[in-house]
Amino acid sequence: MRQHPGRYHRDEKLIAAQGSLKLVGRPMRPGGTLIDVNGVRIGGDDLVVIAGPCAVESENQLLTIAKAVKASGASILRGGAYKPRTSPYAFQGLKEEGLRILALARQETGLPVATEVLDTRQLDLVCRYADIIQVGSRSMQNFAILEEVGKCGKTVLLKRGMSSTIEEFLLAAEYIMKGGNSRVILCERGIRTFENSTRNTLDLNAVPMLKQLTHLPVIVDPSHGTGRWWMVPWLSKAAVAVGADGLILEVHHKPHDALSDGPQSLTPDSFDQLMRDLRPIAHALGAEIAHSTLVPVG
């Protein structure tokens, strides 16, 4: 059985942070929090792999990728229906049509679906379709969104802000839990530093630190953390080795034609090889790769 880092070290900064984390702090649940999403257990002994395209582009595209990642062992499907883009001219997502396609993919594969909400006005609609509501890096300190997802009963995947400290990240989670929602998953996705050879600097220090400070599950996003598909397998293995509860990975069957984040997307074949490589690492740490227990309807 995998363990959190253990007893609390007498570090003044850690102690100060714990004082602000009335609900998120590990003393609230020393054994950790286990979140069940349609039979997929996140935060326990299993390693959870969330995979899919950055953006839902079409029904054929999503179903092709969903079936491929399911066959390779992914337990949750990701895909953006609403896309926050730096350029206003870039693809912004299919919006409600994208949500409908995600629901269809869940029906046909049995995979629960995770997708991002960008605005409180979208939340009711997104909640009708999704199993996991993602609060993206740009929204980590959008307090209106944090308060609203705190009132919903859906699991929330909270991504670390691109320039946020660990304490700021955890206090964002505290906002959600203060609203009454304890179903929060934390995601380290890289931070912005002076280094420009990669999209971001993936902070794997964050995983044991978060495990020390909080009882919430912690997953890692090496796709955004690196921005380079060929680095994703290496950082995925490192994330598992350092104690992450799961991974969220971008996969596209035609990365060169992707409307968003093609350069950081694995192909189905490279994803399948990565899943094969992860199993012995997870096993060495006392974990197995989780599987969805939902039965496809179609």
Share of the chain above pLDDT 70, in %: 92
In angstroms, the CA 26 to CA 149 distance is 21
> With 90 as the cut, is the pLDDT of residue 66 above it?
yes
Q: Tell me how far apart the alpha carbons of residues 206 and 200 are, in angstroms, rounded to a whole number.
A: 14
Residue 25 lies in a domain: no
* pLDDT the model gives residue 2: 58
Report which secondary-structure segment, H or E, holds 51: strand 46-52
Quick check: helix, strand or coil at residue 210?
A: helix
| Domain region containing 136 | 37-84+91-289
Would 14 be classed as within a structural domain?
no
Strands 113-116 and 76-78, by their bridges, are parallel
Nearest alpha-carbon partner for 147 in 169, 124, 112, 180: 180
pLDDT in tens, 186-238: 999 999 999 999 999 999 999 999 999 999 999 999 999 999 999 999 999 99
Length of the chain: 298
Answer yes or no: is 179 within a domain. Answer: yes
Q: How confident is the model at residue 106 (pLDDT cuts 50, 70, 90)?
A: very high
Q: Is residue 62 part of a domain?
A: yes
Distances in Å between the Cα of 32 and the Cα atoms of 25, 158, 169, 209, 210 are 10, 17, 18, 14, 11
Q: E strands along 92-180, which residues?
A: 113-116, 132-135, 155-159
Please name every residue paired with 126 in a beta bridge, in sequence order, or none if there are none.
Answer: none
Count Cβ neighbours within 10 Å for each residue of 205-229 and write b for 16 or more, e otherwise: ebbebbbbbbbbbbbbbbbbbbbeb
Predicted local distance difference test score (pLDDT) of residue 7? 47
What lies within 8 Å, CB to CB, of 182 at 6+ separation is 23, 33
Question: Is residue 259, in this structure, part of any structural domain at all?
Answer: yes
Distance from C-alpha of 190 to C-alpha of 203, rounded to nearest angstrom:
6
Reported as type and span, the H/E element at residue 19 is: helix 12-20
Residue 182 has pLDDT above 60, yes or no: yes
CB 208 within 8 A of CB 242: yes
pLDDT value at residue 85: 85
Question: Is there a domain that residue 18 lies in?
Answer: no
For residue 272, give the CATH number of its domain. Answer: 3.20.20.70
**CA-based nearest residue to 23, from 177, 213, 148:** 177
Q: What type of residue sits at position 176? A: I
State residue 17's pLDDT score. Answer: 57
pTM: 0.94
Count of domains for the chain:
1
Average confidence score pLDDT of the chain? 93
Output b/e per residue, 117-136; b: 16+ Cβ within 10 A: bbeeebbeebbebbbbbbbb
Asked whether residue 147 is domain-assigned, the answer is yes
Decide: 76 and 48 in contact? Cβ < 8 Å.
yes
Q: Is residue 297 part of a domain?
A: no
